[in-house]
Amino acid sequence: MPITDVPTISLATSVPRDPDALVVGLAETSEGDVLVGLPDEVAKAINKAFGTDLATVAGRLGGSSKNGRAVVVAGPGGARIVVVGLGPIDVTPEQVRRAVGSAVRLVAGLSAPSRQTVAISLETVEPQVIKGAAEGALLGAYSYRAAADVPGIGQFVLVSANRRPDAKQALDLAVTTAKAVNQAREWVNTPANLLFPETFADAARATARAARVDVEVWDEKALEREGFGGILAVGGGSTRKPRLVKLAYAPRGARFHLAIIGKGITFDAGGLNLKTPDGMYTMKTDMAGAAAVIAAVTAIAELGLRIRVTGWAAMAENLPSGSAYRPSDVLTMYGGKTVENGNSDAEGRLVMADALVKSAEEKPNLVLDVATLTGACMVALGERVAGLMARDDQTADLVLDAAEAAGEQFWQLPIPEDARPKLESKVADLKSTGDKYGGALTAAAFLSEFVPEETPWAHLDIAGPSFNSGAPYDYTPAGGTGSAVRTLIALAHALAN
pLDDT in tens, 325-343: 999 999 999 999 999 999 9
Residue 260 lies in a domain: yes
Determine the pLDDT at residue 24. Answer: 98
Same domain, 84 and 204: no
What confidence category does residue 147 fall into, taking pLDDT thresholds of 50, 70 and 90? low
- Is residue 464 very low, low, confident or very high in pLDDT (cuts 50, 70, 90)? very high
130 and 262 in a common domain: no
pLDDT at residue 476, as a whole number? 98
Same domain for 190 and 105, yes or no, is no
The pLDDT mean for the chain works out to 96
Same structural domain, 207 and 334: yes
pLDDT tens per residue across span 218-255: 999 999 999 999 999 999 999 999 999 999 999 999 99
Determine the pLDDT at residue 76. Answer: 81
In a shared domain, residues 155 and 212: no
Domain-embedded: residue 176: no
Residues forming a β-bridge with 316 = 265
With CA atoms as reference, report the closest residue to 245 among 213, 211, 204, 195: 204
pLDDT grade for 113, boundaries at 50, 70 and 90: confident
Query: Once rounded to an integer, what is the mean pLDDT over residues 118-128?
Result: 97
Q: Give me the percent of the chain exceeding a pLDDT of 70.
A: 98
205, 275, 306, 391: the catalytic one is 275
- Assess if residue 178 is contained within a domain: no
pLDDT single digits (tens) 34-64: 999 999 999 999 999 999 999 999 999 999 9
72 and 15, same structural domain?
yes
Which CA distances in Å does 184 have to 100, 148, 260, 419? 21, 22, 15, 32
Is there a single domain that holds both residue 89 and residue 199? no
Instruction: Answer whether residue 174 is part of any domain.
Output: no
Residues 385 and 282 reside in one and the same domain = yes
Residue 3 located in a structural domain: no
User: What is the domain count for the chain?
Assistant: 2
Q: Does residue 380 register a pLDDT over 80?
A: yes
Q: Which of 19-23, 148-152, 230-234 has the lowest mean pLDDT?
A: 148-152
Task: For strands 457-461 and 386-390, give the pairing.
Answer: antiparallel
Q: Is residue 444 part of a domain?
A: yes
Residue 4: pLDDT above 70? no
The model scores a pTM over 0.95: yes
If asked whether residues 155 and 199 sit together in one domain, one would say no
Q: Which of 80, 105, 349, 431 is catalytic?
A: 349
What's the mean pLDDT in 73-96? Answer: 93
Please say whether the dihedral angle defined by the alpha carbons of residues 401, 406, 409 and 413, taken in this order, is positive or negative.
negative
How far is the C-alpha of 100 from the C-alpha of 139, rounded, in Å? 9
Residue 350: what pLDDT? 98
- Give the CATH number of the domain where residue 124 resides: 3.40.220.10
Asked if residues 386 and 400 have their Cβ atoms less than 8 Å apart, the reply is: no
**Which contacts (CB < 8 Å, 24+ apart) does range 88-94 have?**
88/27, 88/28, 88/29, 89/27, 89/28, 89/29, 89/34, 89/36, 91/27, 91/129, 92/132, 93/128, 93/129, 93/131, 93/132, 93/407, 94/132, 94/407
Is the separation of the CB atoms in 200 and 287 below 8 Å?
Answer: yes
Q: Are residues 204 and 321 in the same domain?
A: yes
Q: Is 420 a catalytic residue?
A: no
Confirm whether 1 is domain-assigned. no
Let me know whether 142 and 192 are in one domain: no
Q: Is residue 275 among the annotated active site residues?
A: yes
- Helix intervals (H) in 109-164: 127-140
Q: Tell me what pLDDT residue 175 has.
A: 98
* Per-residue confidence (pLDDT) for residue 445, from 0 to 100: 98
Residue 170: inside a domain, yes or no? no
Q: Residues of 407-443 as b/e, b for ≥16 C-beta within 10 angstroms? A: bbbbeebebeeebbebbebeebbbbbbbeeebbbbbb
The residue segments making up the domain with residue 314 are 184-495
Long-range contacts of 447-450 (CB under 8 A, 24+ apart): 447/349, 447/352, 447/353, 447/356, 447/369, 448/391, 448/415, 449/337, 449/353, 449/420, 449/423, 450/333, 450/335, 450/337, 450/352, 450/353, 450/354, 450/356, 450/357, 450/360
Looking up residue 313, the CATH number of its domain turns out to be 3.40.630.10
Nearest to 187 by CA among 2, 316, 370, 347: 2
3-state helix, strand, coil in the chain (%, to 5): 35, 25, 40
Distance (Å, rounded) from C-alpha 252 to C-alpha 228?
A: 31
Whether residue 60 sits in one domain with residue 155: yes
Give the model's confidence band at 149: pLDDT under 50 very low, under 70 low, under 90 confident, else very high: low
